Amino acid sequence: MIQVREVRLREIRLPLREPFRISSGVAHERRICLLEMEDVEGRTSWSECVAGSTPNYTSETVDIAWLSLLEWLLPRVVGEKFDSPGEVFPALHRNIRGHLMAKAAVEMAAWNLAAKKRELPLAELLGGSESEVPTGISLGIEEDPGETARKAREAVREGYRKVKLKIAPGRDLETVRTVRESVGRDAELAVDGNAAYTADDLDHLARLDDFSLLMIEQPFGAGDLLQHRKLQERISTPVCLDETVIEPDRARDMIALDAGRIVNIKPGRVGGISRSVAIHDLCAEADVPVWCGGMLETGIGRAYNVALASLPNFRLPGDLSPSRRYWERDIVSPEWTMSDGGMVAVPRDEPGLGIAVDRGRIEELTVRSATAAF
């Protein structure tokens, strides 16, 4: 049983080491809402909301998440008792539409609290068996395809198991061709359109089939299963859905319609751990591989992603890059690292997330805070 006494919110600002451009916008720094949940016995649990500063990936933003947490979501958990963390998402979701990233931040903190209470590493509580997980890198759009190729080569040299290239209309075939020639035939390459294409682009996108890509991620809009289905019908490269899959039923639709053959699971996008596991399980049942996506998380969000990615149907490398890919200095210690073989270790030695949060550093980076207590 978990009983939440108090939840503290903070917004921190953390500059990215390099700007990250996707089809719909660019990030130079992250504004991140962190959440610290405390139970009546004094245990604490940190989590992070993956909403960005602008609504270009989904409609959520850090300001909207802040409002929805304080106004609608946190009142549903502070002072409340939950027999298991699986009860938290339904309590947050009843008659409140959307706000999945805000809900996820609360729900994930509750899972970590439950893991600490049961004195289990989170990965173990979730049923994850792997001791390390393979990682890929997601490369933003650059002015010059040659620069993307240089970064892709460097990533392969560092050991990354997958290199994902962000693409956009007018920034696709040439980039992919340049990178493929530069990294060679054996490197695992993928592309991600972040919903930037329309029905008129079908013929053009079908040409990506020539580059032996591991997958083509979310070229069309989040609600557009039909175009994804039409593309999948024409190409042998698997289509992977990201933005579309906001709940288990959308993964079910994808499978039933053959609108894609791989799912990117991001706990932040789907509302947390319980729904991520549900999507994982239904994909496993249908023999559809999944992988864990990233949202440029700090070391806190990464810990949840790594624990989740230790489940057996996470069969493809996740976007789980080490801390130094994103930050001059992370807000956890030790920082996340990757082995020469492109693997990230799953913490299994202590209860919960298995990372220490650097409170002093968070204090320095905090620009606002708020508390919900009962």
Give the C-alpha separation, 158 to 274, whole Å: 33
The answer to whether 194 contacts ligand OSB (rule: CB under 6 A) is yes
* 186: phi then psi, degrees, rounded to nearest 5: -85, -20
Taking the least distance from each CB to ligand OSB, the nearer of 88 and 316 is: 316
Strands 81-82 and 132-134, bridge-based pairing = unpaired
Taking the complex as a whole, how short is the minimal distance between the CB of residue 276 and Mg ion, in angstroms?
15
**CA distances from residue 228 to 180, 217, 260, 266, 314 in whole angstroms, order as listed:** 24, 10, 7, 19, 22
Q: Where are the beta strands (DSSP E) in 99-214?
A: 132-134, 136-139, 162-166, 189-192
Over the window 215 to 234, marking each residue x when it contacts Mg ion by CB under 5 A and - when it does not, the resulting string is --x-----------------
Half-sphere exposure of 199 (CA within 13 A, CB side): 5
- The answer to whether 266 is a known catalytic residue is yes
In sequence order, the 6+-apart residues with CB closer than 8 A to the CB of 207 are 173
Give the C-alpha separation, 217 to 268, whole Å: 18
Among 110, 205, 296, 316, which residue sits at the site for ligand OSB (rule: CB under 6 A)?
296
Interface segment toward ligand OSB; rule CB under 6 A; list 114-122, 222-230, 290-298, 328-336: 290-298
The answer to whether 192 contacts Mg ion (rule: CB under 5 A) is yes
Q: 137-154 as b/e, with b when 16 or more CB fall inside 10 Å?
A: bbbbbbeebeebbebbbe
Taking the complex as a whole, how short is the minimal distance between the CB of residue 22 and ligand OSB, in angstroms?
6
The answer to whether 298 contacts ligand OSB (rule: CB under 6 A) is no
The answer to whether 294 contacts ligand OSB (rule: CB under 6 A) is yes
Taking the complex as a whole, how short is the minimal distance between the CB of residue 150 and ligand OSB, in angstroms?
18
Partner whose binding site includes residue 121, from ligand OSB, Mg ion, none (CB under 5 to 8 Å by kind): none
Taking the least distance from each CB to ligand OSB, the nearer of 103 and 164 is: 164
Q: 134 preceded by cis ω (within 30°)?
A: no
Among 47, 61, 68, 138, which residue sits at the site for ligand OSB (rule: CB under 6 A)?
138
Interface segment toward ligand OSB; rule CB under 6 A; list 74-82, 223-231, 291-299, 338-346: 291-299
- The answer to whether 151 is a known catalytic residue is no
**DSSP conformational letter for 200:** G
Measure CA 155 to chain center: 20
Taking the complex as a whole, how short is the minimal distance between the CB of residue 342 and Mg ion, in angstroms?
19
Residues that bind Mg ion (CB under 5 A): 192, 217, 242
Provide the annotated active-site residues.
166, 266
Residues that bind ligand OSB (CB under 6 A): 22, 57, 138, 192, 194, 242, 293-296, 319, 321
